[in-house]
Chain A
Amino acid sequence: MMWLLKPETLPEKLAVMVVAILLFAVVMGLVLAVVDRPRLPKWVPVAGYLGPALLLITFGLLWPGMLTIRNSFYDHTGNTFVGWDNFAVIFTDEAFLIVIRNTLLWVALVPTLATALGLVYAVLVDRTRVEKFAKTLIFLPMAISMVGASIIWKFVYEYRDPGVRGDLPQIGLLNQIVVWMGGEPQQWLLIPPANTFMLIIVMIWIQAGFAMTVLSAAIKAIPDETIEAAKVDGAMGLRLFFFITVPSVRPAIIVVLTTIAMGTLKAFDIVYTMAAGGNFDTSIIANEFYTQSFNQNQQNIGAALAVLLFVMVVPIVVYNVRQMRISEGER
């Protein structure tokens, strides 16, 4: 049975994949069959439905998360308790205020703008002849790997000196446009705080596809009757959008905002690859976390930064739970 662990040929690999899926199906089938008998106490079906997911999450996320919290109070060897020292290091770093400012800018701008653009676009192309194609265009950035995205934007922001005669070619699109319009090319990624906005644009560019896709699915779920009724009442265009569409997909909007906000808090790749590892006052907490943990071997500081991320998520979680309670009350 070695091939189940270490398949060597392609058929073996495919077989392992099929076995894995079947195994999963059989196990889950058994679990469901057991918990679906009538007259069982309520906790049994709950355990059957929720148990597998909770077990995995506890093992793979909660446990490492707890370890991280622990490590944030120890030194970088993980053996000596240092109390709040690691947090003190973070908060007394003079550049840290900028990191916090940037993180807040990211988490405020990326979810709102990406969601707004995604929503508007999803509504605009909904039910048009070119819908599929139009949606694919916005989705495209999502499909590109981070490496690909950073190269793409390098060819937007790249700067070349125009030279003493001012006629040397630009290879970055943005600077070329500036030159065509008679302006001076800029080193966009070197000018704080504008460079942070330049990087935020990249993240919005990527995330709008996510917002558009999920919100499009939500828009499709608005019952036709709702829209027809609104039309009978004379709602058209923008009114229809603000008074019917947006309220109807409001829960989905909250979900999208939340998801993008969390993704934004965690994302370090753009800053890391495009702004030279967070130089030029562009760093954000996730990037500091990554460089401290992996480049500089300061796992303790990295852990403290991760804990800071956990803390920043608390308001988002609280908001969502309240929304959930409200919508349950309505139901």
Chain B
Amino acid sequence: MSLDSSVGVQRKLTRKEQRQADSKTRLSSPAASAFAVLIAVVWTIPTAGLLITSFRPSGDVRKSGWWTAFANPSFTLDNYVDVFGTSNVANSFFNSFIITIPAVLIPIMLALLAAYAFAWIDFKGRSFLFAFVFALQIVPIQVTLIPLLSQYVQWGLDGTYWTVWLSHTIFGLPLAIFLLHNFMKEIPRSLIEAARVDGAGHVRVFFQVLMPLLVPAIASFAIFQFLWVWNDLLVALVFAGPEYSPITRVIATLAGSFGSRWYLLAAGAFVSMVVPMVVFFSLQRYFVRGMLAGGVKG
């Protein structure tokens, strides 16, 4: 109960007040700002170069650097027209969504539960099991393909969405458990014990106390799981039937057997990048501050 009220107080601050409070605690000096800008610029220039390249005619790309495009502009939409002109672009875009959404939600939920058990239920062999789960991150996906596909064929599920979701869930779990466990165990014990004293069982503690506090962590992991599944080619190639293949597969085939249309890859990369960027931008609002304030006070 005390938690709820203090979060409420926190929320009552207006945006302006919040910003004023923020600016006081900010690490800011001209040098620091300059450094931040420098990193941002260095990080962005290569991508900007590709963006400009994706609008240039293929002949120019080969002959001159992308930065010269400003001096003598010659831009074209041809590359994008070609990418969107590929058959199955629309269909594949959809398949990507249908593959990605469950493949993000399911592993997060499973990982949250597992992380909860690792962090807040005392049982024998806990560290060992945790080390085991997290060490399995290193198994390269490539070695799992034949054993998994053999099973799916036996179950009669090969080439369906189900096996793609299942596979992505499996591959995402170790890292999800590892990351979420870390955030989960940072939550002060007093909060959970307070709830326990009130008579809450594991389910209530999990959903009412922990979940709201974990929103930033869940949001950040969700972004990455989304990204990995969205950009995945290997799992989709092996487990999804051709009629369910995602956008990455279309992009990968753009260049043709002998790579003669390599210049389309720049445009293709941007087409498939748009959605993850939107997801990143919109999930950022869950990176909120101060959710733990009440707990520490209490």
Decide if A220 is an interface residue (CB 8 Å cutoff): yes
Q: Which chain B residues border A120 with CB–CB below 8 Å?
A: 35, 39
Q: Are A306 and B140 in contact (CB under 8 A)?
A: yes
Closest-CB distance, A169 to chain B (whole angstroms): 5
Tell me, in angstroms, the Cα distance from A314 to B170 when the chains sit together. 21
Tell me, in angstroms, the Cα distance from A48 to B101 when the chains sit together. 24
Q: Are B49 and A152 in contact (CB under 8 A)?
A: yes
Q: Which chain A residues border B28 with CB–CB below 8 Å?
A: 128
Tell me, in angstroms, the Cα distance from A302 to B146 when the chains sit together. 14
Q: Are B25 and A237 in contact (CB under 8 A)?
A: no
Q: Are A223 and B182 in contact (CB under 8 A)?
A: no
Decide if B16 is an interface residue (CB 8 Å cutoff): no
Contact with B along A39-55 (1 / 0, CB 8 A): 00011011011101110
Q: How many residues of A contact B (CB 8 A)?
A: 123
Tell me, in angstroms, the Cα distance from A56 to B151 when the chains sit together. 13
Contact of A17 among B32, B44, B101, B270 (CB under 8 A): B101
Q: Are B167 and A60 in contact (CB under 8 A)?
A: yes
Decide if A139 is an interface residue (CB 8 Å cutoff): yes
Contact with B along A102-141 (1 / 0, CB 8 A): 0000000000000001001101111110001011111111
Q: Which chain B residues border A139 with CB–CB below 8 Å?
A: 277, 280
Interface of A is mostly: helix
The stretch that binds A, out of B72-80, B81-89, B114-122, is B114-122
Contact of A126 among B19, B26, B114, B270 (CB under 8 A): B26
Decide if A90 is an interface residue (CB 8 Å cutoff): no
Q: Are B129 and A50 in contact (CB under 8 A)?
A: yes
**Which A residue's beta carbon lies closest to that of B128?**
A321
Tell me, in angstroms, the Cα distance from A139 to B182 when the chains sit together. 22
Tell me, in angstroms, the Cα distance from A306 to B272 when the chains sit together. 31
The stretch that binds B, out of A188-196, A276-284, A287-295, is A287-295
Q: Are B23 and A127 in contact (CB under 8 A)?
A: yes
Q: Are A217 and B178 in contact (CB under 8 A)?
A: no
Q: Are B46 and A156 in contact (CB under 8 A)?
A: yes
**Which A residue's beta carbon lies closest to that of B158?**
A5
Q: Are B143 and A67 in contact (CB under 8 A)?
A: yes
Q: Are A124 and B123 in contact (CB under 8 A)?
A: no
Q: Are B127 and A324 in contact (CB under 8 A)?
A: yes
Q: Which chain A residues border B46 with CB–CB below 8 Å?
A: 141, 152-153, 155-156, 173, 205
Q: Which chain A residues border B248 with CB–CB below 8 Å?
A: 145
Q: Are B43 and A46 in contact (CB under 8 A)?
A: no
Q: Are B169 and A56 in contact (CB under 8 A)?
A: yes
Closest-CB distance, B154 to chain A (whole angstroms): 13
Q: Are A64 and B143 in contact (CB under 8 A)?
A: yes
Q: Which chain B residues border A60 with CB–CB below 8 Å?
A: 144, 148, 166-167, 170-171
Tell me, in angstroms, the Cα distance from A155 to B293 when the chains sit together. 48
Contact of B22 among A127, A156, A205, A320 (CB under 8 A): A127
A147/B203 contact (C-beta < 8 A), A10-B94, A64-B139, A210-B224 known: no
Decide if B191 is an interface residue (CB 8 Å cutoff): no
Closest-CB distance, B15 to chain A (whole angstroms): 12
List CB contacts (< 8 Å) of B217-275 with chain A: 217, 219-220, 223-224, 227, 231, 233, 241, 243-244, 248, 251-252, 265-266, 268-270, 272-273
Q: Are A53 and B111 in contact (CB under 8 A)?
A: yes
Q: Which chain A residues border B138 with CB–CB below 8 Å?
A: 262, 265-266, 309-310, 313
**Which B residue's beta carbon lies closest to that of A10?**
B94
Tell me, in angstroms, the Cα distance from A65 to B171 when the chains sit together. 13
Decide if B58 is an interface residue (CB 8 Å cutoff): no
Decide if A14 is an interface residue (CB 8 Å cutoff): yes
Q: Which chain B residues border A24 with CB–CB below 8 Å?
A: 102, 105-106, 109
Q: Which B residues form the contact surface with A (CB < 8 A)?
A: 19, 21-29, 32-33, 35-36, 39-40, 43-47, 49-50, 53, 61-68, 94-95, 98, 101-102, 105-106, 109-111, 113-114, 116-118, 121-123, 127, 129-131, 133-140, 142-144, 146-148, 151, 157, 160-162, 165-167, 169-171, 173-175, 177-179, 182-183, 185-186, 189, 201-203, 216-217, 219-220, 223-224, 227, 231, 233, 241, 243-244, 248, 251-252, 265-266, 268-270, 272-273, 276-277, 280-281, 284, 287-293, 296-297
Q: Which A residues form the contact surface with B (CB < 8 A)?
A: 5-8, 10, 13-14, 16-17, 20-21, 24, 28, 32-33, 35-36, 38, 42-43, 45-46, 48-50, 52-54, 56-57, 59-65, 67-68, 117, 120-121, 123-128, 132, 134-148, 151-153, 155-156, 169-173, 176, 205, 208, 210, 213-214, 216-218, 220-221, 223-228, 231, 237, 240-241, 251-252, 255, 258-259, 262, 265-266, 286, 289-290, 293-294, 302-303, 306, 309-310, 313-314, 317, 320-321, 324-325, 327-328, 331
Given contacts A61-B144, A67-B147, A255-B182, 18 further A-B contacts (CB under 8 A): A20-B162, A46-B117, A52-B113, A57-B174, A59-B151, A64-B146, A126-B27, A127-B25, A147-B251, A148-B272, A169-B63, A170-B65, A176-B67, A214-B220, A225-B296, A294-B142, A313-B135, A324-B185
Mind listing 15 A-B residue pairs with CB under 8 Å?
A14-B98, A24-B106, A50-B113, A54-B133, A56-B166, A124-B33, A124-B36, A132-B281, A140-B44, A155-B49, A205-B46, A214-B179, A237-B32, A251-B182, A310-B135
